[in-house]
Structure 1
Amino acid sequence: MNHKYVSAFLGLVLIAIGFFGASYLIKNKKRPQSVVQKVVKTVYVDTVQNGEVPVIINANGNLVAKRRIELFSEVQGVFLSSAKLFKEGQTYQKGEVLLRLNDEEFSASVQSQKSSLINLITGIMPDLRLDYPEAFPTWEEYLANFEMNGQTRALPDPASPQVKNFLIGRGIYAAYYNLKNVENRLSKHIIRAPFTGILTEALVNEGTLVRNGQKLGEFIDPSTYEVEVAVNKTFAPYLRVGEEVVLNNLDNTQTWKGTVSRVNGKIDQATQTITAFVEVSADELKEGMYLEAHIHARDASNSYQIERSLLIDQSRVYAVKDTVLELLPVKPVFFSEKHVIVEGLEDGAMILSKSVPGAYPGMVVKMAGNSGVNVGEANPNMAAQ
């Protein structure tokens, strides 16, 4: 019995010793202290210097030759060969034959009309000698110098109203104007270049029967082109004829200078835009090229230009003051695809020139100096919206 009590007592003692020992070890265990490192981000800044910032209107369009004509036939005939092939890319000097149509039928009609006129004039000569002797020498000279193979000369002026009425009564004037009509149509069988240029479209070949009203091709002057651009109506007052325009291709590898040649006086009701035409000349330009135009609209005074990504809620930008970020209010003036012109910044303010992920007011930062790009200066690609 005593042995049983002794065993129970020893067990309780061991349990108590284990409990207090474990508690002591837990209380005196040293935990490793975590070290929190505070990261200070490095930011790039620009110093604000307000001034005149040019507002450039960006627009685009296709090049079209300023002088271009569509060739149509006014007569019917077989397309004959000429000194040059009537093909795309063929160049012609002013007055050179573009194409020639068979005119044998009309040529015979002209000769017939000339014969009729000569017969009528010959028939009135005896009456002129007797009744109007003062007009006879003039008409005799006209008849003697009449050319059957050349252009018909104008009829002599009547010596008096009586002579004029006499000629009208004998059908002289009617025969003459009928002759001039067929001569005019005969001349339409030959189409000449109205200016020095190049054939950009040819729709007929040699030997083809060309019909009246049929389109034959297109002819352009490659020395001068125009770009038609649509500009927001807000900038209509700033579009002036003669204003210099910078043009570039889509790859931005080539640049040309042009001028505003014309401005439409009507605003498109559907798009609320106004059309301007920019004239440009260069040997490397071709009709149909797609170009971007940068038109100088006006200058925004006491303003500064920044990247659009730096604008917060369309009304604020981050600045650095005593190594701490703060938000400054601004007023956007003009937007472009990548930039915005703002007002309201004070000269000397240190604003961010590059976006900082996770930025917030009060954030401690370290300035790395200017980014090397002064976005406050004029940007030739700036565009207003």
Structure 2
Amino acid sequence: MRKIILSVLGVLLIIASIFLAKFLIASKDKPKPVQEKVVKTVFVDTVKNGGVQVKIPANGSLVAKRRVEIYSEVQGIFKSGSILFKPGQKYSAGQSLIRIDASEHYANVQSSKSNLYNSIAAIMPDLRLDFPEVYQKWQNYLNAFDLNKTALKLPEMSSEKENYFITGRGIVSNYYNLKNLEQRLSKYIITAPFSGILTEALVTEGTLIRNGQKLGEFIDPSEYEMEVNVSKSYANLLKVGETVELSNLNKTESYQGIISRVNGSVDQTTQTITAYIDVKNPDLKEGIYLEANIDGDTVQDAIEVDRNLLLDDQQVFVIKDGLLDTMPVTPVYFSETKVVLQGLPNGTILLKKPVPGAYAGMLVKSFEAEANL
């Protein structure tokens, strides 16, 4: 029985070997599958060299070109007026901003005026006898003297004797003491130096104002200036009177500015030079942050492309006969997102957008070519 089982197994093994041999022979003759070549579709552009205007970016905040910090030179109570001293309040040129109670000082001024008048009146009899030729002009001065008005200028001295006589009676010193008091009296009323708006108010009506105290800030909202810092390498491009493009951060609004001043020294820490740009627009406010594009030199025989198209070894990808290749270029100017290049011949097919994993020799086809198929 055992011999019969072994014989059957042997026959089956021989038959299986024959079938396996036939299968291997048949599979050996089948052709190997051909791997399909992958061709990437890319966006391209044709090089057309020309003049490229270099734009120097800068930014800064607007500040009113005419602004005044209001300080008090006298002491007293802030008197209320017809217009409240509040931020946002508009004033015309010459209009009173602040009135300080000056009743005590006014009394001193009037007392000094009276003393001057009395001292001149006291010498009139002597002038009639000793200096009859000058008597009339001093009499005219007394006749025009008004205690309710600013003191008039003393008559001109016509001789050395007259000068000694008038000065010796203390009239000249009394006059200048009076003018000093009158000058100080004018400081009790602070007027607007120009038409503008109050942006800061640190006191209110009834406040005791002290000498040297800051009272507020006043600006002219019709014209602003922006301070920008530009690399010293572009200092020769900053020209007074040149127009500058300004825009807000969202690029939704644009304005026209003019370079009004350029600092003559370079900041040693940042190696930048400061320029000031004037801008007028009713929509602008102090403190608004703007970006500026200052016109630089025009680079000839160049093109402007995205910075991410420039390789680390100062080469760019070009397309030749459906394959990617590299070509050396000369970068002339870098901005935040763009680079100006020279050295590419006209008509060169250049990548318009970077291709992930790109390498020299990669099969590609342009987007336009695929669209025409």
TM-score (norm 1): 0.91
Structure-2 change in CA distance of 1:168 and 1:357 (3 Å): same
- How far has the Cα of 1:9 moved from its partner? 5.6
Aligned to 1:140: 139
- CA-atom RMSD in angstroms: 1.8
Distance in 1, Cα, partners of 2:248 & 2:344? 35
Q: How does 1:216-235 map to 2 (within 5 A)?
A: 216-235=215-234
Distance in 1, Cα, partners of 2:13 & 2:368? 69
Aligned to 1:300: 299
Aligned to 1:53: 52
Aligned to 1:36: 35
Aligned to 1:17: 15
- How far has the Cα of 1:18 moved from its partner? 3.0
Distance in 2, Cα, partners of 1:215 & 1:169? 43
- Superposed CA deviations along residues 212-249 of structure 1, whole A, max 9, x for unmatched, are 00001000111110000000000111100001000001
Distance in 2, Cα, partners of 1:8 & 1:294? 97
- Superposed CA deviations along residues 87-146 of structure 1, whole A, max 9, x for unmatched, are 111111111111101010110010111111111111111221122111111011101110
Kindly provide the amino acid, as one letter, of the partner of residue 240 in structure 2: V
Q: How does 1:310-325 map to 2 (within 5 A)?
A: 310-313=309-312, 315-325=314-324
Distance in 2, Cα, partners of 1:57 & 1:192? 42
Distance in 2, Cα, partners of 1:119 & 1:366? 107
- How far has the Cα of 1:85 moved from its partner? 0.9
- How far has the Cα of 1:27 moved from its partner? 3.3
- How far has the Cα of 1:34 moved from its partner? 4.2
Distance in 2, Cα, partners of 1:51 & 1:242? 27
Structure-2 change in CA distance of 1:79 and 1:8 (3 Å): closer
Does the 8 A contact of 2:38 with 2:363 survive in 1?
A: no
- Superposed CA deviations along residues 54-108 of structure 1, whole A, max 9, x for unmatched, are 1111100000011100000000011111121111111111111111010101100
Aligned to 2:288: 289
Q: How does 1:204-223 map to 2 (within 5 A)?
A: 204-223=203-222
Distance in 1, Cα, partners of 2:88 & 2:5? 120
- How far has the Cα of 1:15 moved from its partner? 3.2
Does the 8 A contact of 2:78 with 2:204 survive in 1?
A: yes
Aligned to 1:115: 114
Q: What SS does the aligned partner of 1:297 have?
A: strand
Q: What SS does the aligned partner of 2:132 have?
A: coil
Distance in 1, Cα, partners of 2:247 & 2:198? 26
- How far has the Cα of 1:334 moved from its partner? 0.8
Aligned to 1:92: 91
Aligned to 1:27: 25
- How far has the Cα of 1:356 moved from its partner? 1.2
Distance in 1, Cα, partners of 2:192 & 2:368? 64
Q: Percent identity?
A: 52
Kindly provide the amino acid, as one letter, of the partner of residue 82 in structure 1: G
- How far has the Cα of 1:337 moved from its partner? 1.1
- How far has the Cα of 1:333 moved from its partner? 0.8
Structure-2 change in CA distance of 1:159 and 1:255 (3 Å): same
Distance in 2, Cα, partners of 1:349 & 1:27? 54
Unaligned runs of 5+ in 1: 371-385
Distance in 2, Cα, partners of 1:27 & 1:259? 88
- How far has the Cα of 1:14 moved from its partner? 4.1
Distance in 2, Cα, partners of 1:214 & 1:291? 34
Kindly provide the amino acid, as one letter, of the partner of residue 84 in structure 2: L
* 2:156 matches 1:151: no
Greater Cα shift, 161-170 or 274-283: 161-170
Unaligned runs of 5+ in 2: none
* 2:250 matches 1:251: yes
TM-score (norm 2): 0.94
Does the 8 A contact of 1:134 with 1:159 survive in 2?
A: no
Structure-2 change in CA distance of 1:120 and 1:49 (3 Å): same
Distance in 2, Cα, partners of 1:229 & 1:168? 58
- How far has the Cα of 1:44 moved from its partner? 1.5
Structure-2 change in CA distance of 1:22 and 1:182 (3 Å): same
Q: What SS does the aligned partner of 2:98 have?
A: strand
Kindly provide the amino acid, as one letter, of the partner of residue 19 in structure 2: G
Aligned to 1:365: 364
Distance in 2, Cα, partners of 1:7 & 1:360? 67
Structure-2 change in CA distance of 1:314 and 1:153 (3 Å): farther
Between the two proteins, the alignment pairs up a number of residues equal to: 368
Structure-2 change in CA distance of 1:189 and 1:253 (3 Å): same
Kindly provide the amino acid, as one letter, of the partner of residue 18 in structure 2: F
Distance in 2, Cα, partners of 1:350 & 1:164? 96
Aligned to 1:202: 201
Q: What SS does the aligned partner of 2:110 have?
A: helix
- How far has the Cα of 1:350 moved from its partner? 1.1
* 2:369 matches 1:337: no
Kindly provide the amino acid, as one letter, of the partner of residue 156 in structure 2: D
Kindly provide the amino acid, as one letter, of the partner of residue 217 in structure 1: G
- Superposed CA deviations along residues 308-366 of structure 1, whole A, max 9, x for unmatched, are 11111151111112211111111111111110001111111111111111211111211
- How far has the Cα of 1:24 moved from its partner? 2.6
Q: What SS does the aligned partner of 2:114 have?
A: helix
Kindly provide the amino acid, as one letter, of the partner of residue 214 in structure 2: K
Greater Cα shift, 19-28 or 359-368: 19-28
Structure-2 change in CA distance of 1:16 and 1:286 (3 Å): same
Greater Cα shift, 215-224 or 161-170: 161-170
Does the 8 A contact of 1:314 with 1:332 survive in 2?
A: no
- How far has the Cα of 1:36 moved from its partner? 2.6
